[in-house]
Amino acid sequence: MNFCNELSALKCVCYGRWIMCGDFNLTRNQNEKMRRSWSSRLMTMFTDLLNTLELIDIPLGNQSFTWSNMQKCPTLAKLDRFLVSTEWDHLLRDKNSKLHMTKEILDEEIMWKTRVRQ
């Protein structure tokens, strides 16, 4: 799968702490999708990839699903993710560091947006 290869390649160029967020269009397990079929092979591949890259999947609030096909009997799925490298782990565990972490994430976001615009 090209997408997984591209993510793996990012690990080689991202040193230290890194954040990856957005619509990954993949689920990690059966609980993340309702009403439509799922591919256990793709789920396993995606989960293995996140483990190999040592990424932590941060919960997005209390939402079980982040996407719907907006039909009368909707298909629901968790496709949007906020992934952080394990180097963020100490900040995630320390409640006193939440404000510091938020500032660092915002700084990273500003830096990323600046690079994208160039």
Rounded to whole angstroms, the Cα distance separating 4 from 43 reads: 12
pLDDT digits (tens, 9 = 90+) for 2-51: 878 888 888 788 777 888 888 888 888 888 888 777 788 888 999 999 99
Band of residue 1 on the pLDDT scale cut at 50, 70, 90: low
pTM over 0.75? The answer is no
Closest to 18 (Cα-Cα) out of 30, 26, 10? 10
- Residue 116 three-state SS: helix
For 93, other C-beta atoms within 10 Å of its C-beta total 8
Q: Top-level CATH class of 2-87? A: alpha beta
Rounded to whole angstroms, the Cα distance separating 27 from 73 reads: 20
